[in-house]
Structure 1
């Protein structure tokens, strides 16, 4: 999930104050239950390290603050309750602030992994608000910034992808700068000496909507190192039958015994990801 750390202008009389936005710690789609009409609506939520929790109709509209549908703020006394009714993978955030008043809001997601991810990061932000440690908030933000929404991967049929339990397939994160991602790429091409700020700048450009770059990595969690990567790149084409096309490319796999199998798994997962993202034709290269 990408972070858009920027600045907002606040006009006070003739003066202009620059207000820095705090890092995005997580973003993605949630189904929110209505408070009066008890239906469910998909909303794209952005959670920042300062506790602001904003909901939009779509990811595209999340680029414009004035388009927000929900304007919540986490606070120190927030608690979370998990349920399996009225829908599976439901959770309620109790005590979130709306216009100065604590309220409860109920959400559900597609699978338990998504729910756990949201709950963990909400709890981490609440804990940082309690402790008042801004540096801790920044660490949360960096850890959770992803190239694209991890729920897209979690929705795939992973039963056909057999990986060791200590290997995790996920979107590229900003923190992967410190987990050997560039060192892995250097096995295939001359990466050069890329600074962390340069890495971050390119990361945010590639992660900007509409999504075009789905850089995906495999992390060996036993040693916190990136051992494989591949990318789904998408584009529009003037073609009467296939307007949207995706390319699975840029495979780099560490020197492993099951290197070929891992390539095939990444290729199959990103092909399925492209098809689910609405791209009619998916092409693979370098497999």
Structure 2
């Protein structure tokens, strides 16, 4: 438990041979049934051309498996935030299903995650009105896209987020190119001169295809700078009992008094994140003294 004109037909983003629109936002949503009023978790991808597709899991969304919810945004879609029947609910009004406008109700685990979904949906609708989803993605998606679904972090123990008020833990974002992320990495490795377009291309590859990269950062919001980072890297393995494994690596912490504390925080969060995302065994490379990935 991570989404981004005109009057395109339902399912066009999947079935059309034309260019596949990039994902603006993706992640798990609880969708309320239309007839049986229960809640079901679905992994949704929102693309810049308005396609809004729900799958049973993230893995099925990447494998183009059976679509559980095949919706298309259109110019008249509105989004309304609600606190009933559950906190952090929102309703998408006028989404197209089989050629007809319908309303659908969703729920997420935090108000921050709900705000991100609402902003993403409204941004795509603005693109429908302007008639150019590519410009929308450049202006909106480049700024807002995260490496993975922020709700995964928000659902973990709040006690691990005991940081100064101006520090926030979150997934890597495309906008971190301008917040010193590469400069921070250069403290450990020779990063070289990576252009914004190169950064964006690699970011999208890491965010959209297996294996999974949960690049996590700590931002000092008072200076808009990334001050710490670590990565949970996950992959499959041939093992009948532990077929999924995760590695915690690439710790880089700025020269701060709380350096050890930040490393422990990131390590614990990513261990919990690995377990939450279904990876049965998590190896923390920082536990091994002679492993370069454990350096800070």
TM superposition score normalised by structure 1: 0.84
Pairwise CA distance, 1:33:
1.4
Q: What do the CA deviations read for 1:236-287 (whole angstroms, capped 9, x no partner)?
A: 4566765543322211111222222111111111111122223344332126
**Partner in structure 1 of residue 32 of structure 2:** 33
Indicate the larger mover: 256-265 or 158-167: 158-167
Q: Report the Cα distance in structure 1 between the residues aligned to 2:14 and 2:87, rounded to whole angstroms.
A: 38
Counterpart for residue 120 of structure 2: 121
Kindly report which structure 2 residues correspond to 1:94-133, keeping only aligned pairs within 5 A, or say none.
Answer: 94-132=93-131
Per-residue displacement from partner, 1:131-156 (whole Å, max 9, x unpaired)? 45642343212223222221111110
State the match for 1:214 in structure 2.
Answer: 214
Alpha-carbon spacing, 1:51–1:173, altered in 2? closer, same or farther (3 Å): same
SS in 1 for 2:58: coil
Shift of 1:211: 4.7
Counterpart contact for 1:28–1:46, Cα < 8 Å: yes
Question: Would you say how many aligned residue pairs link Structure 1 and Structure 2?
Answer: 277
Alignment of 1:1-287 (within 5 A): 1=2, 10=16, 19-65=18-64, 67-132=66-131, 134=133, 135-237=135-237, 242-284=242-284, 285=286, 286=294
Q: What do residues 193-234 of structure 1 show as CA deviations (whole Å, max 9, x unaligned)? A: 223333233323333444532111112223322211101123
2 CA distance for matches of 1:131 and 1:23?
17
4+ residue segments displaced more than 4 Å? 7-10, 131-134, 236-243
- SS class of match (1:191): coil
- What TM-score do the two structures reach when normalised by structure 2? 0.82
The alpha-carbon distance between structure 1 residues 267 and 138, as it changes in their structure 2 partners (threshold 3 A), is: same
Q: Matched residues in 1 for 2:91 and 2:221: separation? A: 30
Whether the 8 Å contact between 1:2 and 1:145 is mirrored in structure 2 is no
SS at match of 1:129: helix
CA distance in 1, matches of 2:278, 2:62: 21
Superposition deviation, residue 74 in structure 1: 1.9
Taking the aligned partners of 1:113 and 1:241, their CA distance within structure 2 comes to: 36
- Structure 1 unaligned spans of 5+: 11-17
8 Å Cα contact 1:228-1:252 kept in structure 2: yes
TM superposition shift of 1:187: 0.9
Change (3 A) 1:238 1:63: closer
Deviates more, 1:42-51 or 1:80-89: 80-89
- Show structure 2 runs of 5+ residues with no match: 5-12, 287-293
